[in-house]
Amino acid sequence: MTDKLLEIQNIYKKFYLYSSRLRRLFNALGLCSKGSKTQEIQALKDITFDLAKGECLGIIGPNGAGKSTLLKIISGCMVPTDGNVIQRGRILSLLELSAGFNLSLTGRENIFQSGKLLGYSIEELDRAIESIEAFADIGKFFDLPIKLYSSGMFARLGFSMYSHLPCEIFIIDETFAVGDIFFIQKCFLKLEDLMKQGQSILLVTHDMNAISKFCQRAMLINEGALEYIGDPKQAISQYYHLERSGKRVDDSKSNKNDPELQEQITQEMFPWPETSESCDMNSLGLRNANYFKVISFYCCDQNLKSCNSFHPGEKLLVFYEVEIVKFIGVPIGSIAIWNEKNISIYGKSTYQTKEANKKPLQSGQRLRFMHEITLSIAEGVYTIELGMAGIPEETLGQLDVMSDEMVHSQIIPDAVTNKATAFSVMFGSTRNIENSHHGLVNLKSSIKTYISNKE
C-alpha cells in the first residue's frame, strides 16, 4: 500500500480571454468557430509531484507563478485542462481566512455553517468547537457577529477553525502574512503540532524561514512550470536568484573544485566566481551612476557557489566588478545589509579597511571587490545594497588625523543599487551552527564572573 496521500500527474491549466462576453457565452455553448479565442494564457505547464504521509512540502515562486492556481486545482475548486489529481484522504484548504463566512453570523455560528459546507458532521464540529474557541482567543467576540471583527480577529477565527478540523492533507496559502506577532507565533506552534501528529501539509508562503524550518522538501514554480523540487535550502537559493536575475540556476555547472575558480585578479589574488553565477545587471536598479558601471555582482557561500540561504555564523561572500566611466579619485565600494523592516544592520566600505585598493583609477579601468562577512545575525530575510563612491588619494593618507565629518565631506557619492539581492539566515536541524548570541546582531562584548564570598 502506497504512503503517497497526494499524486499530481502532468497538470496543465489554460485560461482564455475573450473579446466580449457574447463570445464567451458562444464558446461555452460550443458555438464559437475555431480560432475565436482572443488570448490563451498557460497558467500551469506539466506539473508533477507527490506528497507522502506526514510530509510537509513547501511551494515557493514569484507572484503570478501559478501557485494559487495549483492549490485550487488540488482542492477541487478548479478543473485542470489536462492531467490528474489523485488524493487518498480528506483535503482541507486554507486558501483564504474568511472564505465562506457570513458577516451577519457570530463566530461560533460561522464555524458550524462553514464546517458543514466543508463536509464535516455536527458531531465532528461539536468535538472541535471548544479547541477552536480556545485557540482563537478572541473572548466575547466569538459569540458576536463577525462584521464587528478586526482583520486580526478574522485571521484568528479562520486559522483556528481550519487547523482544528480533522483531515489527512492540510493546504495553507500565505496564512502567516496576516495577524499580530503573537498569533503568528501561535500558528507556527500549531503547525509543528500537526506535523508531530503525522499530518501531511502543503505550505505556500514567501516566508523562507518557515520553508526551511518546517518543510522536508520544497518546490519552485516559475511561469507555471516546475523548476526545482528537493532540498528546501537549494529551492530557496534558486528562488532568490530567480527574483533578481529572472534566470534559472543550474548548480550542475558549479564546481568548487574547478581550477578556473582560482583565477588571480588583483595583487591580493582572491578567487572569482563563475560568470554564470552573476545577478542580472538590469535588475540591480543602479541610481545616480555617473562615474561607475557595475559589470557583475555575485552573492556566494564560502565555496564561491551562488547562495542565498545561510545558517548563523556562516560566511557570506559578496563579489562585484565595476568599470570607471569618469575619473573620481580612489574608488570606494560599500555594502549595506538591511532587514525586513528596512533597518540597516551592517555597513562597511573599502576606505575603512587596510587591504583595499588605495590608488586612483582612470576611465576604462576595472576594479574587482570581495566582501567577506560572517553572518553573526539573527534568523530572518535580509537584502544587500551596493554603493559606489570616490575619495581623493590625499584624503586617504590623512584618515588618522581627520574627523569622520571631515572624511565624509571629501567623499563623492555616486551609484547606489535598489537592493542588489536578498538572502536568508535560518537555523538548520542537521548541522552544527553558531549559537553565540541572542537578538539581531552579535555585538563585540565580553562577560566576566567571579565567585563572591558570603559576608
Cβ contacts of 356 within 8 Å, gap of 6 or more:
333, 350, 369
Q: Which of 87-96, 145-154, 197-206, 235-244 has the lowest mean pLDDT?
A: 235-244
Q: 416 and 290 in one domain?
A: yes
Closest CA to 356 of 259, 267, 227, 263: 267
Q: 127 and 228 in one domain?
A: yes
Q: What is the pLDDT of residue 255?
A: 35
Burial class for 117, CB neighbours closer than 10 Å (0-12, 13-18, 19+)? exposed
Please give the Cα distance from 215 to 426 (Å, whole number).
Answer: 13
Q: Which of 121-135, 166-180, 277-291, 347-361 has the lowest mean pLDDT?
A: 277-291
Q: What is the pLDDT of residues 61-87, one digit of tens each?
A: 988 899 989 999 998 889 999 999 999
When pLDDT is averaged across residues 352-361 and rounded to a whole number, the result is 75
Domain boundary among 195, 212, 245: 245
Q: What is the pLDDT of residues 190-202, one digit of tens each?
A: 888 888 888 899 9
Please give the Cα distance from 157 to 137 (Å, whole number).
Answer: 9
444 within domain boundaries: no
Q: What is the pLDDT of residues 369-384, one digit of tens each?
A: 989 999 888 888 898 8
Contact indicator for 239, 60 with CB cutoff of 8 Å: yes
453 within domain boundaries: no
Q: 353 and 301 in one domain?
A: yes
Q: Average model confidence (pLDDT) for the chain?
A: 80
When pLDDT is averaged across residues 173-190 and rounded to a whole number, the result is 72
Q: 363 and 239 in one domain?
A: no
Please give the Cα distance from 410 to 399 (Å, whole number).
Answer: 11
Q: Taking every pair of C-alpha atoms in the chain, what is the biggest distance, in angstroms?
A: 100
- Residue 94: pLDDT band by 50, 70, 90 thresholds? confident
CATH code, domain with 409: 2.70.50.60
More confident residue, 12 or 408: 12
Residue 268 cell numbers, joined: 591580493
Contact indicator for 289, 418 with CB cutoff of 8 Å: no
- Residue 303: pLDDT band by 50, 70, 90 thresholds? confident
Q: 157 and 55 in one domain?
A: yes
Q: What is the pLDDT of residue 269?
A: 55
Q: Evaluate the CA torsion angle 325, 328, 331, 335 in order and state its sign.
A: negative
Q: What is the pLDDT of residues 382-416, one digit of tens each?
A: 988 888 888 888 777 776 666 777 777 778 887 77
Q: Containing domain of residue 402, as a range?
A: 251-425
More confident residue, 396 or 362: 362
| Residue 137 Cα to chain centre, angstroms | 30
